[in-house]
Amino acid sequence: MKTYNIITVENDEDEQFFMREGFNASGLFRILAQPKNGDEMLEWLHAQKGGLPDLILTDLNMPGKNGYDIIVEIKGDPTYAHIPVVVTSTSSTQTIIDRCLSLGASDYVVKPDTFIEYASYAKKLHRLIEDKALVK
């Protein structure tokens, strides 16, 4: 199976830790960076001379630039528009999901109920990427 290079944008430090642990345990992803919001993510992207991520996984509600802002910024910049953006949040409200998709998100995945479920969450995300051929 292919290993994907990703950025996980998440402002909650506990969530970041368990996300990193679960994704590393899955062996399916290499986390390149874990910025706390869209502002930090854009700074990180602009500083890269190469080695862009295969995918951006972003939380929706964060201080500074949030998940909606990230979708708009990434999809509006020809340098990064090819990078799929998958939104993750605790909300499963259809209007929120529809808004993310209409802005250009590649998909929307509800976060696991508990932190210990991130390894299975990573496997689910990997299947989604493969099934939908999100990464070119």
Give the DSSP letter of residue 81.
T
Say what the pTM is: 0.95
* Structural element, H or E, at residue 42: helix 38-47
Instruction: For each of the domains in the chain, give its residue range(s) and CATH number, in order of start.
Output: 4-42+53-121 (3.40.50.2300)
Q: What is the pLDDT of residues 46-100, one digit of tens each?
A: 999 778 999 999 999 999 999 999 999 999 999 999 999 999 999 999 999 999 9
